[in-house]
Structure 1
Amino acid sequence: MFVTRPISLGRSLVRFAATPSASVASGTAFAARLKKSTNITGLNVSGSPLSELESRYTKTLSLLSTLPESSVYRQATTALTQQRLDIVAKFSNDAKAIQSEPELLEALYERAEQELDAGQLEQVLEQAVAEYRLAAKMIDWKAWEPLEHPPAPGQWSYFSMAEEAGEGGEDQNVDAGKK
């Protein structure tokens, strides 16, 4: 009644299992993570989060250096990325010294998370990837260039809700607290 077909799932699992992790591929063999889950759906535990963050932050800084120095986005993002890279590099050097001791490594990761104060290292890695992608888009958009069409006069002026409602000029309660 039912036709069965062989499924090639086995080969794909073998292929993924045979793929070296980032830590093995980079020549640094870190101990397997003790942390089994981030408890966030869709966010997997990273095998070597500090080295991945260090790599991503370095790439982001390199990309940001192509933006004009006067770009506010470049200045703000470079400052944040450099600050985080300094923290990650400090902990990454410590991680290399204790790479074969999983308990100490997990404690080090927790201290790095506390100092970064931006969530779990896996979340910080997602943020770093998103910032890298945004920096690439900013280059495409050339956001530092002047607008093609200048804004209309008064476009960026704040308005009063009372004036918009036709209830008069200034807010009536402004002088009430001064008497």
Structure 2
Amino acid sequence: MFRATRVLLQKTTTGLVGLKVNANWRNDLIHLYGETLKATQTHLPDCFYRESVEKITNFRLKVVQENEDENVVEKIINCGQVEELIEQAEDELFLIPKYAEWRLWEPPVAPKEQ
């Protein structure tokens, strides 16, 4: 009698210099996306940047929560490998407080004439 066994092929390299495989990619992405959504609500007023970040983050979070296969996640999100998605999420999380500090939602101030 045949017994079907499921062979899990684990990625050994990303093929990208300096970017190591993350075996905990799913939990890391869910955590980072949750932190990003908290940060937008904490740091940003209702502005286009906040709306954009929240839409993208909610979409990506839903994809990651609904799929355990990294190939499926990468195909649906279509913005690189899961390790690259982690870097993107970390970068966004770093940028949000800077965006708030610089108040980039405000129109630029014209220089005063002398």
Q: TM-score range by the shorter chain?
A: 0.7 to 0.9
Per-residue Cα deviation, 1:13-69 (whole angstroms, up to 9, x for no partner): xxxxxxxxxxxxxxxxxxx97211001000000021111001001000100012111
How much does 1:75 deviate?
0.9
What's the TM-score once normalised by structure 1's chain length?
0.54
Contact 1:37 1:44 in 2 (8 A): yes
Secondary structure at 1:65 match in 2:
helix
Q: Distance in 2 between matches of 1:122 and 1:137?
A: 23
Secondary structure at 1:68 match in 2:
coil
Q: Which residue of 1 aligns with 2:49?
A: 73
Instruction: Percent identity, please.
Output: 32
Q: Which residue of 2 aligns with 1:161?
A: none
Per-residue Cα deviation, 1:112-156 (whole angstroms, up to 9, x for no partner): 111111111001111111111111211111212343x3269xxxx
Structure 2: runs of 5+ lacking an equivalent = 1-7
Residue type of the partner of 1:84? R
Relative contact order (alpha carbons < 8 A, sep ≥ 6): 1 or 2 greater? 2
Structure 1: runs of 5+ lacking an equivalent = 1-31, 96-107, 153-179
Contact 1:50 1:88 in 2 (8 A): yes
Q: Which residue of 2 aligns with 1:121?
A: 82
Residue type of the partner of 1:133? F
Query: Which is higher, the Rg of structure 1 or of structure 2?
Result: 1
Q: Which residue of 1 aligns with 2:28?
A: 52
Q: Which residue of 2 aligns with 1:101?
A: none
Q: Which residue of 1 aligns with 2:3?
A: none
Residue type of the partner of 1:76? S
Q: Is 1:42 paired with 2:18?
A: yes
Residue type of the partner of 1:111? V
Q: Which residue of 1 aligns with 2:66?
A: 90
Instruction: Note the aligned Cα RMSD (angstroms).
Output: 1.9
